Amino acid sequence: MLELLLINYVVAALSGLLVGSISVTLTTSRSITFGLTLLHSILGGNLLGVYLSSLYNLTIPIPLVSTLTAIALSIIVGELIERGLSEDMAIAFSVSIATTMTIIFGYLASQVSSLAITKAWTYIAGTSSISSIEDLAKLTLTLFIVLPIVHLLFKEFKYIAFDEDGAKALGLNIRFYRYVFYSLAALSASILSSTIGILATHVVLSVPGIIYIKFFKRYNIAFSYLIGVVIMLVGYYLASLLSISPSGGVGLTSILTVLGVTVYGRRS
């Protein structure tokens, strides 16, 4: 029992690190709307994975399918922007694709298996209160990929977002950095969705970045990691007190944190 509890909170802490790293990058580069939009493509990818696994009776890693789907749609967004479409229009178009995928594969999956929608729902609302070694391994591997690249390219991501013409004048490969950034966001959002759920990821993804920008902008971005870890740990603890899923606890903690920051900001 103690071992399972320890795994739960280690998963929560690692999720917080991942949330903190990608949240501050999305917020400072003014791409938080894109990050939240990615979750639509992840939902479509989840349902595609559920449909394929149900149809062919294969053990398909659904987070892998959702990650590849999210990366593919993020590349489409990047290409549309490169070809002159505004970011808002490109993102809206990707949402249309993702929503269409959700409708089609959600319907098809329900026709193949009566349990398909139930399986898909676990990725929407989050897994049970017991985290697994698989969750731990996924998060650890993702952090080894995401954290070094975020630290290495953080200034480039932010510079491109604020002054794309200046970045081009300096000889930066805008397309390369944009695809790397979008792929990191897609990977992170997909892995988080497979552990705490799409809905909780949608709620928590922007919070560390918002708090970092408001209070800790002068300091190292590691403060964003700390904020993410605290929110996740408190969320998991709150969930155990209220006897709800971890995703519910994380969602409540995120909402209360944003409200607290808003109230404090108005008074200060």
pLDDT of residue 67: 82
What percent of the chain stands above pLDDT 70? 85
pLDDT of residue 211: 80
Residue 93 pLDDT greater than 70, yes or no: yes
Residue 125 CB contacts under 8 Å (≥ 6 apart), including other chains: 197, 199, 245, 247
**Per residue in 122-171, pLDDT tens?**
767 665 556 677 778 888 898 999 888 888 887 777 777 666 677 777 77
Residue 240 pLDDT greater than 80, yes or no: yes
Handedness of CA 236, 239, 240, 245 (dihedral sign): negative
pLDDT of residue 125: 65
Instruction: Please report where in the chains the tokens 């409540």 appear, as a residue.
Output: 252
What percent of the chain stands above pLDDT 90? 1
Mean pLDDT on 182-208 = 81
pLDDT of residue 131: 67
Residue 261 pLDDT greater than 80, yes or no: no
Tell me the C-alpha distance between 140 and 155, whole Å.
Answer: 24
Mean pLDDT on 51-75 = 80
Q: Which residue has the higher pLDDT, 17 or 36?
A: 17
Mean pLDDT on 62-81 = 82
| Res. 43 pLDDT band, cuts 50 70 90 | confident
Mean pLDDT on 194-214 = 78
Mean pLDDT on 84-101 = 82
The pTM (predicted TM-score) of the whole model is 0.80
Mean pLDDT on 35-64 = 78
Mean pLDDT on 211-224 = 72
Enter the CATH code of domain 2-261. Answer: 1.10.3470.10
Q: Are 231 and 253 in contact (CB under 8 A)?
A: yes
Q: Are 206 and 32 in contact (CB under 8 A)?
A: yes
Q: What angle do CA 252, 136, 55 make, to 5 degrees?
A: 90
| Res. 4 pLDDT band, cuts 50 70 90 | low
Which sequence spans correspond to the domains of the chain? Answer: 2-261
